[in-house]
Each structure stands twice: as structure tokens, then as C-alpha cells.
């Protein structure tokens, strides 16, 4: 049995990586297979995710496009598709469009005749064919006359005025917390989530130290009667879990694991949604274990994006 404190990590190093590298890094958290990452593993990994429709993984890569249309009709045609999973700002016939790989894939699947959709996905498919190879329409996917598409680099996104920055700038955070906290975090929308899977992770294996890891409860101090009772309960639970693994699968044995179990969760959202999360999860009414990680994370975001995040009152 191992007991560790809760923590978080802002995954800003991923912002400079390719979409494939970024998606693989996040996707492997589910099976805790990060040890399989090497210089050649990203494209085979994301190709498999796309082929099998593992859409939650494909949400972990976002791109911003500058789209110039030749007439208003093309713009109207796009908005008639009701693109719920894209962030779009419009200046006449020029569009600033941000979306995940999943969002652009599904736009192509559900609206293949929309000219702006075809133009955007043709541009992306040329740069990243492994995301689109299995869903390209029978008539092919080529650039659309009269519509130009270009990627907006991250440096340019960071220079947007505050409210556009809030909509178009996405950032991922990895939380190492207990399952009670993640049960609350995943209720937020719109966000993307990937979480360590108790269904597939076998904590009785050597890669996990042949033990279950728990998050230290902020409610009880070490040495108190209450902490001793909690510790006893976790030890007994671990013993039951490891015993069940002798004859059961991890997905069966996990039914005895408690909320105190350590888990890893990646949350990916734009700054507008992070602002909403912090408003709810740092308030005095929020669950104390949630405040334990969200208050310092909110302070971190204030330093990173001062124009978007006002200091807490």
C-alpha cells in the first residue's frame, strides 16, 4: 500500500508538440502504457485510435484555422450545419475556427457536402492523413476553389484579445487525485477527459509495485484515531483486491476499491471553460478535496493568462 498527496501538472509542454505526439501522450494514461512511447510510436497509435473510433482520445488534439471564404453563402452554409463542437469567430467572410481532431472528423462524416467543411478537412488531411484516411468521401477530398485555409500558430492564438483567447486557447491539466474528486470533475461540459482505467490496470503487477496507491485524505491528520481507521480500511481493501486478482480480472476485482484510490485524469478545455470550473470549484461551497487542487491551479492560470483570469476575490 502506498499513500501519496494529490497533485496537478499543467501539460503546457504538449502545446509545442505535433497533434499525433500530443494525442498519444494523453491517450496512454488510460492503460498507463507511457513506457511504450518512443520516437516512432505516435502515428501508429493515433492511426489505431482513428480506425477504431476511439473518439475521446482524438479530442486531445486541437487546432486553430484561419478560413477565408469567397462569399457569404459559404459562411451561411457552414453555420447551417450547427457546428456545436467548433469555436468560430467571424469577421465578414473570414473565420477563425478552433476544434479537436474528433470535431473536424465528425464534421466531415456528417456534413461532407458543406464546402467549408471540405476545405478545412482537406487541409488537415493533407497534413495529417492518418486521422482522416478511413472517412474520406468516395469522391475524394481536395481543396475547395474560393476557400483558403491556413493554420494559426499558437503564438498568434496567444496574441488574441482576451475573450477570443478564452474561446480558442485550450490547455490540458493532469490531476493525480482520488476517485471522489474525479467523479465531480467529469461532470463539467464542455471538456475532454481521459482517465486511468481500473478496468485494465492490474495493480497487482510489478509495474504498479504490486500494490494499490491511495490519496492521503485531507480530512484526517497522520497519527489521529481517524487516520488510523482510514489506513486500516485501505490496507484491508488492498488485501481483498489482490486476493481477488488471483482468480478475477481487474475489472471484476476493482469492485472493492474505494474512492480514496489514486487515479490520473487529464482534463482538456479552453480557457473559457477553465474559468467556469474555477468559479465553481474554488468557492467556499466546493468539496474540500477539490479546493485542495483547484485553488493553486487557478492561481497558476492567473499567472499564465492574466488577461483572462482575474484574481480571486
Q: What is the pLDDT of residues 60-83, one digit of tens each?
A: 999 999 999 999 999 999 999 999
State the Cα–Cα distance between residues 9 and 2, nearest whole angstrom. 20
What is the model's pLDDT at position 115?
97
Question: Do residues 238 and 211 make contact, with C-beta atoms less than 8 angstroms apart?
Answer: yes
Q: Residue-wise over 23-39: b if at least 16 C-beta within 10 A, else e?
A: bbbbbbbbebbeeeeee
| DSSP E strand stretches across 14-147 | 62-68, 87-91, 94-100
Q: Give the pLDDT of residue 84.
A: 86
Q: Can you give the pLDDT at residue 138?
A: 84
Beta bridge partners of 88: 97
Measure the CA–CA gap between 203 and 211, rounded to whole angstroms: 6
What mean pLDDT is reported for the chain?
96
C-alpha cell recorded at residue 114: 458543406
pTM (2 d.p.): 0.95
SS3 of 207, please? helix
Do 202 and 250 form a contact (C-beta atoms < 8 A)?
yes
pLDDT > 70: what percent of the chain?
99
Look at residue 147 and tell me whether its pLDDT is greater than 70: yes
N- to C-terminal Cα separation, the chain: 40
**Of the given ranges (5-19, 131-145, 233-247), which has the lowest mean pLDDT?**
131-145
Q: What is the mean pLDDT of residues 144-168?
A: 97
Residue 34 has pLDDT above 60, yes or no: yes
Asked if residue 86 has pLDDT above 70, the reply is yes
Alpha-carbon span 253 to 248, nearest angstrom: 6
Asked if pLDDT for residue 267 goes beyond 80, the answer is: yes
- Say what the pLDDT of residue 310 is: 76
pLDDT band for position 139 (50/70/90)? confident
Residue positions annotated with a catalytic role: 281
In the chain the domains, ranked by start, together with CATH numbers, are 2-10+169-304 (3.30.1360.170), 19-160 (3.30.1360)
Q: Cell digits for 288? A: 474540500
Residue 311 to residues 19, 162, 200, Cα–Cα distance (Å): 32, 15, 41
Closest CA to 128 of 153, 170, 91, 100: 100
C-beta separation of 170 from 98 below 8 A = yes
The whole-number pLDDT of residue 312 equals 52
SS3 201: coil
Amino acid at each position: 500500500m502506498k499513500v501519496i498527496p494529490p497533485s496537478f501538472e499543467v501539460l503546457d509542454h504538449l502545446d509545442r508538440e505535433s497533434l499525433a505526439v500530443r494525442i498519444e501522450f494523453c491517450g496512454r494514461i488510460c492503460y498507463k502504457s507511457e513506457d511504450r512511447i518512443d520516437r516512432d510510436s505516435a502515428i501508429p497509435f493515433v492511426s489505431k485510435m482513428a480506425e477504431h473510433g476511439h473518439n475521446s482520445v482524438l479530442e486531445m488534439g486541437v487546432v486553430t484555422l484561419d478560413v477565408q471564404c469567397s462569399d457569404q453563402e459559404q459562411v451561411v452554409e457552414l453555420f447551417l450545419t450547427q457546428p456545436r463542437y467548433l469555436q468560430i469567430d467571424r469577421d465578414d467572410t473570414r473565420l477563425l475556427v478552433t476544434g479537436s481532431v474528433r470535431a473536424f472528423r465528425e464534421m466531415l462524416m456528417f456534413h461532407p457536402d458543406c464546402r467549408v467543411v471540405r476545405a478545412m478537412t482537406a487541409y488537415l488531411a493533407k497534413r495529417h492523413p492518418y486521422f482522416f484516411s478511413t472517412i474520406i468521401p468516395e469522391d475524394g477530398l481536395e481543396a475547395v476553389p474560393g476557400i483558403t485555409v491556413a493554420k494559426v500558430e499558437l503564438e498568434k492564438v496567444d496574441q488574441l484579445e482576451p475573450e477570443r483567447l478564452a474561446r480558442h486557447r485550450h490547455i490540458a491539466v493532469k490531476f493525480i487525485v482520488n476517485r471522489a474528486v474525479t467523479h465531480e470533475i467529469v461532470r463539467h461540459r464542455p471538456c475532454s477527459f481521459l482517465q486511468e482505467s481500473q478496468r485494465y490496470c492490474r495493480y497487482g503487477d510489478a509495474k504498479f509495485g504490486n500494490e494499490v496507491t491511495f490519496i492521503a485524505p485531507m480530512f484526517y491528520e497522520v497519527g489521529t484515531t481517524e487516520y488510523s481507521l482510514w489506513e486500516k480500511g485501505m490496507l484491508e481493501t488492498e488485501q481483498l483486491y489482490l486476493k481477488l486478482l488471483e482468480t478475477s480480472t481487474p475489472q471484476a476485482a476493482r469492485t472493492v476499491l474505494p474512492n480514496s484510490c489514486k487515479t490520473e485524469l487529464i482534463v482538456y478545455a479552453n480557457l473559457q471553460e477553465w474559468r467556469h470550473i474555477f468559479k465553481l470549484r474554488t468557492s467556499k461551497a466546493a468539496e474540500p478535496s477539490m479546493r485542495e487542487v483547484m485553488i493553486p491551479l487557478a492561481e497558476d492560470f492567473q499567472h499564465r493568462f492574466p488577461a483572462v483570469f482575474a484574481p480571486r476575490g
